Structure formats: C-alpha cells, structure tokens
C-alpha cells in the first residue's frame, strides 16, 4: 500500500527527477490532459470527475506521505502540480463553444504551463502565506490550486486586453 501511495504522490516516479521535479509534474499534467481532450476526446464531465477524484485522493495520499517525511513539502511529491496545472487547462478546454484546433490548443497549453510555473515558483500572496503556514496536505495542494486560479485570471486578462485594446 505504501508503494502505491508513493507512486501516486510522485506521479509514477516523476517526482524523483533531480532537476525541477515540479516542472516535470506540470508537463505530465499537460500531456495527460492534452491526450484526454484532443486525442481520446473524452467527455468534459468525465474528465472533471477524474480531476476531482485525483484532487480528493491527493489530500489523503499526501497526508499519509507527510507522516513519514522529514519536510513539510517534499520535492518528490508532484501530484499537487498535476492538480494545480489541471485547473487552467480544464477551464481553457471548457471555455469554448467550438471545436478547438490542435495548434491553438498547443499554444494555449504552453502559455498556461509557463504562467502556472511562474506563479508556482515565485509564490505571490497568498500562495507564499499558505506555503509557509500550512504544514499539511492542505498547504501542499492549496498553493498550487491558487497558482492555477491565478493562471486562469491572467489568461482572462490577456484575452480581454487582446480583444479590447489590440
């Protein structure tokens, strides 16, 4: 059971990559969601159910993992990046009432990835507050959720700026 939990929180070992495991966790989320949305064409509600299930399981699994960890936010735990990165990608995918072209989706996935990583790395308020003051699974996941929400808000501002001013 411990091995199964470890594989889940590290996204099958992606968290063990020495350089930038969080970045690779985010890339993994982008790839998985791109495949689900654009190659397999799974129903949005089914993907939403999948993401909610991963999020709930993440809280439980990270809490279990932290009981045996020496740090409050171990670098190898990257399922939180998957959860946070999935928020802006899912919002992008459901925000269209028309068929999404693959090239457009790839561009937006790249922009979403970069914005999310910027917020996750630099941790503007309240991300920095949560990261420092919550020493449990809530803190590990919530900072990435907020980074995902900041990414969505940034995309909205970019799109509105482009629409109204350019």
CB-CB contact of 141 with 83 (8 Å): yes
pLDDT band at 35 (very low <50, low <70, confident <90, very high): very high
CA 59 to centroid of chain Cα atoms: 14
Tokens for 161?
């700026």
Mean pLDDT for the stretch of residues 19-35: 97
Q: Is the pLDDT of residue 159 over 90?
A: no
Tokens standing for residue 50 = 């999948």
CA–CA distances in Å: residue 50 to residues 7, 73, 110: 17, 24, 22
pLDDT-based confidence at residue 98 (cuts at 50, 70, 90) = low
**pLDDT of 99 strictly over 90:** no
Domain, as residue range, for 58: 2-165
Q: Report CA-CA distances (Å) from 76 to 7, 24, 40, 97, 106.
A: 10, 11, 29, 38, 27
Residue identified by tokens 């457009």 is 104
Q: How many domains does the chain have?
A: 1
Instruction: pLDDT band for 95, please (50, 70, 90 cuts).
Output: confident
Residue 84 · residue 23 · CB < 8 Å = no
Structure tokens at 52: 């909610």
What are 60-81's pLDDT values in tens digits?
A: 999 999 998 888 878 999 999 9
Alpha helices by DSSP H, 10-126? 21-34, 44-67, 79-94, 102-122
């Amino acid at each position: 059971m411990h091995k199964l939990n470890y594989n889940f929180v590290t996204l099958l070992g992606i968290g063990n990559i020495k350089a930038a495991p969080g970045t690779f966790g985010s890339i993994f989320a982008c790839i998985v969601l791109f495949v689900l949305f654009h190659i397999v064409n799974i129903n949005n509600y089914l993907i939403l159910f999948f993401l909610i299930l991963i999020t709930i399981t993440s809280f439980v699994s990270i809490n279990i993992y932290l009981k045996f960890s020496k740090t409050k936010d171990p670098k190898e735990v990257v399922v939180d990046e998957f959860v946070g990165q999935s928020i802006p990608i899912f919002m992008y995918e459901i925000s269209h009432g028309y068929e999404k072209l693959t090239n457009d989706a790839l561009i937006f996935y790249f922009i979403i990835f970069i914005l999310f990583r910027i917020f996750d790395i630099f941790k503007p308020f309240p991300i920095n507050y949560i990261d420092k003051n919550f020493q449990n699974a809530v803190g590990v996941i919530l900072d990435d959720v907020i980074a995902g929400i900041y990414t969505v808000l940034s995309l909205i501002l970019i799109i509105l700026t482009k629409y109204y001013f350019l």
